[in-house]
Amino acid sequence: FQEFMIVPAGFNSFHDAIRAAVEVYHELKTVLKNKYGPSAVNVGDEGGYAPPLEKIRDALDLLVEAVKKAGYEPGGEIAIALDAASSQFYREDKGVYVVEGRELGRNEMLELYEKLVGDYPIVSIEDPLYEEDFEGFAEIRRRLGDKILIVGDDLFTTNPARLSKGIESNAGNAVLVKVNQVGTLSETIEVVRMAHENGYKAIISHRSGETEDTTIADIAVGLSTGLIKTGAPGRGERTAKYNRLLEIAEELEKPRYPGFRVFPRKP
């Protein structure tokens, strides 16, 4: 899986949420250094740590441990989100996913996700299946859509036509929105509008190669998505967005932090 993320949704303000996220991030650094040594806290291009893990559950257990050591309740105050990026480990020639050395079919992948959601406070899974498997996304929505967000990134590519196809087939229940992927602000707004009108959540997202431009923070608030994905609070191109959100919270007369209300249910 590509990313294991925390979601500080159990707070009443963005200020409190980002403070908790930063505390967990630094606690995780300590946990990783103690378990795997200094090299385990090298970071990827989105600021996340890249320790030498082989098992999915190892990463999830580390997040839960860091949340607890930071003084928060897993699932109560801080949940977990996954970006499986499953097209990266899908063997199109054989129609299988290669996970931890095993070849899994679609149904076995769905069973894996069901077990993980049952065992951990997961509220969102991005790209759980191959990017052309609209039917599979519809099936995982049927199984888990009342519990978590099933997010299409590679599935929808911020493309109104692909999102429309997904809506028609009930594929997933959320779309990742990347402004410079679709190319224009007008198309971005169209994707968010289409999502909201059809009961899908929209998550405004950064890109892997980022700058310190903060526009996506304003877009997330201005379009009332209630959700933003912009990396670990570890470098300027990521923290710039969080700082802008803090500024917006100060500028608004009555800022609202939706927290768990944007998810199907609290874990």
Please pick, among 23, 27, 46, 77, the residue that the annotation labels catalytic: 46
Residue 1 DSSP class: -
Which of 186, 179, 174 is closest to 145 using CA atoms? 174
For 217, residues 6+ apart whose C-beta sits below 8 A from its C-beta are: 228, 230, 241, 242, 244, 245, 248
Three-state secondary-structure class, residue 54: coil
| Beta pairing class for 90-91 and 96-99 | antiparallel
Q: At what angle do helices 215-222 and 236-251 cross, to 10 degrees?
A: 40
| Contact between 6 and 68 (Cβ < 8 Å) | no
178 is catalytic: yes
For 105, residues 6+ apart whose C-beta sits below 8 A from its C-beta are: 95, 96, 97
201 is catalytic: no
Please pick, among 131, 178, 201, 210, the residue that the annotation labels catalytic: 178
Catalytic residues: 46, 178
